[in-house]
Amino acid sequence: MQIPTFNLFKRTIELEHMPSAEIITIGTELLLGEIHDTNATYIARMLRDVGVDLYRKTTIGDNARRIAHTIQEAMQRTDIIITTGGLGPTVDDPTRDAVALAVGVETEFRPELWEQIQNRFLRFGRKPTENNKRQAYVPKGAIPIENPVGTAPSFIVEAEGHAIISLPGVPREMEYLMQNAVLPYLRHHYDLHGIIKARVLHTGGAGESQIDDLIGDLETLSNPTVGLQAHAGQVDIRITAKAESEVEADAMIRPFEDDIRQRLGDWIYGADGETLAQVALSSLKKQGWTLAVVEAGLGGDLTGKLAAEPGPFLGGEVLVTHPESGELLAITNAYRQQRGADVGLGVALRLGPEKQDVYLVLITPLGEQQLSRPYGGPPGNAPLWAVNHGLNLIRNL
């Protein structure tokens, strides 16, 4: 597609004053929980990669006045507002009217957009209906963005030093336009030459409060920033740097990563895309050992995570009963021998009305371990918590 040229108020942004953005996802179906919003996650990552600070993500229903009010609020805080959704042909697709209302203009018909829409339908072997003509209306003075992968044209409105960018809600269309039109526009408009890069360290065997106690002083930094994200049985540490280039960002992150690794030691099992299952199987491979597992109450998640990774995993048995620790040891050892594995891991989750317990057994050529761990979090997170504790046992062999 041909990216439109713009007569812009171009400005250079210093790294400490990177442009800021907000995302507004539009659709009553999102508020009702009928569909999952993946668009905001995708846009957030794209903005991060080009050095745009994301301040807020908002979801709002199909109401033009509420959307307009949300846009006006966002304009008080940020440079860039990106909306997704509400650009279809029906009466409940309000984004065009909402953006026009937010900046105090009318919508106007663009014959070239109507021609593009008609041509798109011809390629599909169809004829547009009269309501499709609504999609050829945009706020007065808007910069149109041709949509070669769908029928909903997008647009950019420049108002009071802000850029309001409206994209379709269909993920495939949004992603294409984000890559091929919006990012080039932002790079030119804001003279973007910096990036925001994140490095995520994964820990196992420690709680969020324990980690915070050891690295809390780093969490007050401004660039890079250090933050924690707790999961069931795992805590992630995110180091984020704003820099002119990826090389510079890596150089800023490296000493803080080294410091954190020194403070937390073996609690850190990997970084970025590395999984606990990968690291656990790698630990077994170094020992030259094979693995079989027995699980109860985990829904097959332990077996599934191990089977999804290459390594010395010989199989798993999912029990329908919930054995006590001693019984679990016997069952795990029998299954280990049946599979001809060097190591047997058993994990059983027992959910009670007032408490949940996890029983773990580990059989290796060096001996046996039997452990019991109480779980006090949300019951829905208990299986993942138990899986991660079992994998962490293997990881530490």
Question: How would you write the pLDDT of the chain (397 residues) with one tens digit per residue?
Answer: 444 444 433 333 344 467 999 999 999 999 888 888 999 999 999 998 888 999 999 999 999 999 999 999 999 999 999 999 999 888 888 999 999 999 999 999 999 989 888 888 887 778 888 888 888 899 999 999 988 888 888 999 999 999 999 999 999 999 999 999 999 999 999 888 878 889 999 998 888 999 999 999 999 988 899 999 888 888 999 999 988 888 999 999 999 999 999 999 999 999 999 999 999 999 999 999 999 999 999 999 999 999 999 999 999 999 988 888 789 999 999 999 999 999 999 999 987 766 788 999 999 999 999 998 888 777 788 899 899 999 999 998 8
State the Cα–Cα distance between residues 97 and 162, nearest whole angstrom: 18
Q: Of the candidates 89, 85, 88, 60, which has an alpha carbon nearest to the alpha carbon of residue 72?
A: 60
Q: Which CATH class is domain 195-271?
A: alpha beta
Over its C-alpha atoms, the chain yields an Rg (Å, rounded) of 27
In whole angstroms, how far apart are CA 86 and each of 27, 32, 114, 148, 168?
A: 7, 16, 17, 18, 7
Class of domain 15-189: alpha beta
Distances (CA, A) of 122 to 115, 119, 131, 150, 168: 11, 5, 16, 12, 20
What pLDDT sits at residue 126?
A: 82
The candidate with the shortest Cα–Cα distance to 69, out of 44, 39, 103, 43, is 103
Asked if 251 and 179 count as a contact pair (C-beta separation under 8 A), the reply is no
Sheet containing strand 195-203, strands side by side: 225-231, 234-243, 195-203, 268-271
Q: Do domains 15-189 and 195-271 have the same CATH topology?
A: no
DSSP state letter for 379: G
* Total-model pTM: 0.68
What b-and-e string marks burial along 324-345, b requiring 16 or more CB atoms within 10 Å of the CB? ebebbbebbbebbeebebbbbb
Tokens (6 digits) for 324: 């006590």
CATH of 276-395, one of 3.90.950.20, 3.40.50.620, 3.30.460.10, 3.10.450.50: 3.90.950.20
Q: Is the dihedral of CA 293, 299, 300, 305 positive or negative?
A: negative
CA distance 62 to 164: 18
- Which sequence spans correspond to the domains of the chain? 15-189, 195-271, 276-395
What is the distance between the alpha carbons of residues 63 and 78, in angstroms, rounded to a whole number?
22
